[in-house]
Structure formats: C-alpha cells, structure tokens
Chain A
C-alpha cells in the first residue's frame, strides 16, 4: 500500500512569513497526527485528528499554528507568522482507529517536511 505522503520535503522561509504543509494519509486510516521534531529531540505531538474531528491539540501553539482535515482525509498544517524556533522537521503520521488502543494502532510516518526559518 502507498505510504503517508507529505509535501514539500524542504522549505526555507524568513521569520514572520507564513508556510503550509500538506499530508495525505494511508487510505482508510481514520487517525492523522502532526508531529514537530526539533533536531536531536523526539517527535512532539502537535495535533491528532480522528476523521475530521480534533482529538488532541493541547501542544499546538494556537496563536500561530493551525491545522485542518477537511473531509477526513488530507490535512494541512499552517504556521503564521513563523519564528526562528519553528525550525524543525514536521512529520505527519496516520493509523487506524485509535481511541480504544490495541494492536492495530501502529502509526505510519511520512518522510516529513524540513522547515528552516531564517
């Protein structure tokens, strides 16, 4: 099966500019995640969608970050305005229904978008 698709792979912007990332999850996966991974650290969950509803966005800096998942499939993550500390790899992942846990909640990650804010 096709994996999680993300674009663009790389993006360089100046601080205070805006940027958007796109993610297409594995077909049939109800749950979609956006993670931020700063160099040398583990991924940090920004937002989790179940179909087109938000399950968890407690770590999303809502003053500058926004995300949507229209129609419960593709998703976009936006940063406006960007700061230097937003430089990171933004990973999208998807999994089957996750609310009850269990063996089928393996998350598949995309290749990520490497964002550099200068």
Chain B
C-alpha cells in the first residue's frame, strides 16, 4: 500500500526546475505532500483531493491524476531552502491515515 516515489534523489542548481512523482496501486481519496529537512519534523506543503484542482504554493505546485492514482510535485526556480526530502502521503479512505512513500532527496546547490 506504500506509494512509489521517483526519482529517489535529485541535485539541482539554484533556479532550475524539478518534478517529483508519486504513484499508488490503490484508489486514493487524497495525496499529501511534506518536506523534511535533516533532523527535523516533516512540514506540510499541500493536499490534493479527489476531484480537486491543481494546488499551488509560491513556486511549488502539484497535480493529482485520479484515474492513474498518480501525483506530481513541481518545483520551479528552485531555491537553496528547497533542499530536503520530499514525501508523498496517500489517503485511501478520507480518514487521513496516510501511507508515506520512501521519499525523494532534493539537493539545491548554488
């Protein structure tokens, strides 16, 4: 039931763009995206609900393809502060009991 994330790791230069993908084999109610910096707690980025619109948060946006049970996180014009591990969490029931992927480690270099 754990979603699969790709890529596992990516290195960007400041200003470059990246896409992180999350795929589930189960029908989903929603997809949640979090970022975790080393030694810190995960921090919420956004939720995408079934039937909802693409969400955006400054230069970070995401989409949810319900038919394919896939979500993608788009980071544009990356900043040093974007470095961290990105996790998608999938909710199959609407009860917010998430299954998290193994994460994508993003490193932004000057």
Among A44, A48, A112, contact of B96 (Cβ-Cβ < 8 Å): A48
Number of B residues, CB within 8 Å of A? 24
Q: Is B30 an interface residue (CB 8 A)?
A: yes
Contact check, A48 vs B97: say whether CB atoms are below 8 A apart: yes
Binary contact track B23-60/A, C-beta < 8 Å → 1, others 0: 00000011010000000111110010100000000000
Interface status of B99 (Cβ within 8 A of chain A): yes
Known contacts A45-B98, A108-B44; is-contact A102 B2 (Cβ 8 Å): no
A73 at the interface (CB under 8 A from B): no
A73-88 contact mask (Cβ, 8 Å, vs B): 1 or 0? 0000000000000000
The A/B interface has a contact count, at CB < 8 Å, of 63
Contacting residue for B42 out of A56, A105, A109, CB 8 A:
A109
* CB-nearest residue of chain A to B5: A42
Cβ-based interface call for B87 (8 A): yes
Query: How far apart sit A99 and B44, CA to CA, in the bound complex (Å)?
Result: 18
A53-B84 Cα distance, complex, nearest whole Å:
34
Closest to B50 in A: A101
Contact with B along A18-40 (1 / 0, CB 8 A): 00000000000001010000001
Determine whether the beta carbon of A55 is less than 8 Å from that of B97.
yes
CB atoms of B96 and A95 under 8 A apart: yes
Task: For the complex, count residues of A whose C-beta is within 8 A of B.
Answer: 27
Residue of A98, A101, A108, A110 with most chain B CB atoms under a 10 A cut-off = A101
Residues B91 and A56 in contact, CB atoms below 8 Å apart:
no
B102 near A98: Cβ-Cβ < 8 Å: no
Q: Are B102 and A105 in contact (CB under 8 A)?
A: no
Interface residues of B in 79-102 (CB under 8 A from A): 87, 89, 91, 94-102
Contact of A109 among B30, B41, B94 (CB under 8 A): B41
B101→A110 contact, CB < 8 A: no
User: Are A43 and B100 neighbours in the complex by a CB distance under 8 Å?
Assistant: yes
Residues of B within 8 A of A (CB): 2, 29-30, 32, 40-44, 47, 49, 87, 89, 91, 94-103
Closest 4 CB pairs of A and B: A42-B100, A98-B96, A109-B41, A101-B94
